[in-house]
Amino acid sequence: MNALLEKTDKPVKRPNDEEYMISMADCVFKAIIQDLRFRRLLSLIIGEVTNYSPKFVYDNLKFINTELPVSNVYERKKITDILAEISGTTLNIEANRSLNKSQRIKNNLYHHKIATEQYNSGGKLEDCEVLQINFNTVKRFGNQLFTNFSMKSDDGLYIDEENFRRIHINMANPLKKYYNLGKESLSKVEKALVIFQLLDKKEIKKLAKGDEDLENMVKIIDDLNQNPRIIGLYDKEEMDELMRNTDRDEAIKEGLEQGLEQGFNQGIEKGLEQGISQGIKQIAKNMLKSKMDVSEIAKLTGLSETEIEKIKSEES
């Protein structure tokens, strides 16, 4: 409990004269990926993980959801995933900045959902690929840049479903190379993956210098950092997270203070026992007021979901 009370949240960081916004932030990443100026770099990356040549990808790539997130800033309940098609292959492109189980489950479920919709619409999976490409800033599977997953037998000799694949891009790999060996050690694709992760404007522009495609990528990032709607969306995502954490910690702190105060009014010895109990219940009440899930409250307080539902009914 003390660790929660002592936790401090980082302030929301707006872009400034020296730094760009985080390009791996969901809204920024999606805007970069779908920008025509990034198309050649995206074609190179997709060409690395498919059987298509970069030129074929460039000529045939079509985004299914062509509306950029910039135009949906105020539709906060709408989630726009990046979906594209290349000659019968459906692509789902994801940006992952954490190893959270919930993030992995969401991505996996969505991948299966796309395949299911292929079947429901009359398509046959054996006639087309359903491919998910995960851009991961945190290393998950060894040190390779690309890790390919498909349905195989235990010995790896037999593939049960070759057209349902998941690719994980280990973005930590080129970033480590960049800091240890310099930009000369990186391929063009690796430089693009590093630029996604850097914030310093001078450093980014220096890394991209001399390559038209990389310089175009930097122009996209620069344009997005000047766009007040994207900045507003970025800040709102960060602020929402800050507010959730603050509400949770405040509920715990207030609950303890109120509960212990009530308990001590009834006597030190008895008050300690009752105060702790009352404090925990008060924490639960405050969390309910903050619209937190019952299951999450149960985990944090140690109360059963039944007890929390009872508190909820008493308060309503």
Task: Write out the chain's pLDDT in tens, 316 residues.
Answer: 333 333 334 444 555 678 888 899 888 898 899 999 999 999 999 999 888 999 999 999 999 865 544 444 444 444 557 888 898 888 888 888 877 666 666 666 667 676 666 656 655 555 577 888 989 988 888 888 888 877 766 766 666 666 678 889 999 999 999 999 998 999 999 999 999 999 999 999 999 999 999 999 999 999 998 887 777 766 666 656 655 666 666 666 666 666 656 655 555 455 556 666 777 788 888 888 777 888 888 877 778 888 888 888 887 6
What residues does 92 pair with on adjacent strands?
Answer: 83, 132
CA angle at 173 for the pair 168 and 175, rounded to the nearest 5°? 120
Predicted TM-score (pTM) of the model is 0.65
Widest CA span in the chain? 79
Residue 49, C-beta contacts closer than 8 angstroms, at least 6 positions apart: 131, 133, 146, 148, 167, 169
